[in-house]
Amino acid sequence: MNKVIGVFDSGIGGLTIATAIRNAFPELEVRFVNDVEHVPYGTKTKEEILALSYPILKKLQDDGCDVIVVACNTVSTTAIVELRQKLSIPLIALEPMVKPAAALTKTKTIAVCATPATLASKRYSDLKLEFAQGVKVVEPNCANWAELIEKNSLGQKQIADTVESILKAGADVIVLGCTHYHWIEQDIKKAAGDKVTVIQPEQAIVRRLKQVLEQLA
């Protein structure tokens, strides 16, 4: 019997992760759920994020999912420890790709585009401490991006202005630390130009899921 994979995000961002998983594992059943009533999560407190996300993940578990991909950097960086304690199936967490970005940069400057909750989380702070020693980390204000992307109203100028500030700071790697931003990846790449690398975790999550499924086999 094929495994069932749950994919959860606050909004539409996680659809890109669900699609990547379906493309990589066509034999799996992938169930995508989001929380349209409470999106975005990025400006909420840890307590609010945990209270909103736990019942949804618990239902995915109760409905027969074998693994859940938490396709929301905000939930993963703020509440994944507590969620893993409360649930009995593997949770695969997304978090900003600080480690690969720090390894890629030649200018020793990277930019992390993420929600306020992600940027304020202890997990994100730990990632910088562990992997970005000697690397300048630029954190542009993307506070309203998820909400605007959800409404399909994030303008090209706002994207271009943000990218310009990143380039002025000297960054040559941009980390998309929110799955909502995957929807505007091409716009960011276009604004950034060929000398800047834009990274996001879809394929890393596919590889991690493969490992987890092999462990469950």
Convert the pLDDT of each residue in 114-128 to its tens digit: 999 999 999 999 999
Q: Which fold has domain 4-94+202-216?
A: Rossmann fold (3.40.50)
> Where does the chain hold its CATH 3.40.50.1860 domain(s)?
4-94+202-216, 98-199
In whole angstroms, what is the distance from residue 185 CA to residue 121 CA?
24
Among 46, 16, 47, 20, which residue's Cα sits nearest to residue 34?
16
Convert the pLDDT of each residue in 60-80 to its tens digit: 999 999 999 999 999 999 999
pTM higher than 0.75 = yes
Q: Which CATH number fits domain 98-199: 3.40.50.300, 2.60.40.1930, 3.40.1480.10, 3.40.50.1860?
A: 3.40.50.1860
Active site residues: 72, 178
In whole angstroms, what is the distance from residue 35 CA to residue 52 CA?
8
What is the SS3 assignment for 56?
helix
Convert the pLDDT of each residue in 104-161 to its tens digit: 999 999 999 999 999 999 999 999 999 999 999 999 999 999 999 999 999 999 999 9
Q: Is the dihedral angle over the CA atoms 179, 135, 188, 19 positive or is it negative?
A: negative
Peptide bond into 40 cis (omega under 30): yes
Residue 10 backbone zone (phi > 0: left; psi -120 to 50: alpha; other: beta): alpha
pLDDT at 180 (0 to 100) = 97
Among 72, 70, 119, which residue's Cα sits nearest to residue 98?
119
pLDDT at 217 (0 to 100) = 87
In whole angstroms, what is the distance from residue 191 CA to residue 194 CA?
9
